[in-house]
Amino acid sequence: MKTDKVINGVLIKATQPEEGYPYEWPEGVTEIGEHAFSYWSSFNRPFSIPEGVTKIGEEAFSSWHNFNQSFTIPESVTEIGEYTFSYWYEFNQPFSIPEGVTKIGKGAFSDWHNFNRSFTIPKGVTEIGEQAFFSWYEFNQPFSIPEGVTEIGNNAFSYWNSFNRSNSRRTEATDKWLRIDNWVFADCYSGTLEQLRERLDSGESTPEREKAFEEISKSF
């Protein structure tokens, strides 16, 4: 029995349909609440968020472990919460983030273990939260960080084990350092090449780190 709950346009809780059936949206939804669709671990049908939804809450679609169908977010969405689409282990379908999004929350797309499709971050994004794209083990497609990004949280791009493109570099000194464009992800640290140099000069330098910096700072 369908027991979806909508209050003042906010979908509080969605009912997972029986296996093999699509989800049918209730009327009047403009916001998706926290955990509204979380732990639909067996759901595996094409899914579209309706036009007019502007905000997706924390962990709203978290733990769709076996989902591997088309998924569409409308351009009306401007806010994506923390861990919203995390733990989509099997997902490997075309996917895009709406152009109006300016901040990607902590862990928003973490643990997409099998994802390896063309993907871009919208040009208007200025902040990428911690672990936002954590553990994209298989991802190795052309990818750049937009010039407007001014802040990237720790571990945002950790465990991109397969990523190896012309605008990236790893070090032989430590396999935990990855550079994408002018951003360096060193262990759990995230920052620009210049910020990392300042951090090392402030007293955090070691012979191993100096060797790693020498390798990571070479031109592409």
pTM value is 0.94
* CA atoms 30, 17, 81, 74: torsion sign: negative
- Work out how many domains the chain is built from and give that number: 1
| Residue range(s) defining the domain that contains residue 132 | 1-165
- Domain CATH for 30: 3.80.10.10
Q: Could you count the other beta carbons within 10 Å of the beta carbon of residue 1?
A: 3
Summarised one tens digit per residue, pLDDT across range 162-175 is 999 999 999 977 76
**Looking at the domain assignment, is residue 206 inside a domain?**
no
Summarised one tens digit per residue, pLDDT across range 81-133 is 999 999 999 999 999 999 999 999 999 999 999 999 999 999 999 999 999 99
Q: Could you count the other beta carbons within 10 Å of the beta carbon of residue 96?
A: 15
User: Taking Cα atoms as reference points, which of 34, 30, 112 lies closest to residue 78?
Assistant: 30
**Looking at the domain assignment, is residue 191 inside a domain?**
no
Summarised one tens digit per residue, pLDDT across range 49-92 is 999 999 999 999 999 999 999 999 999 999 999 999 999 999 99
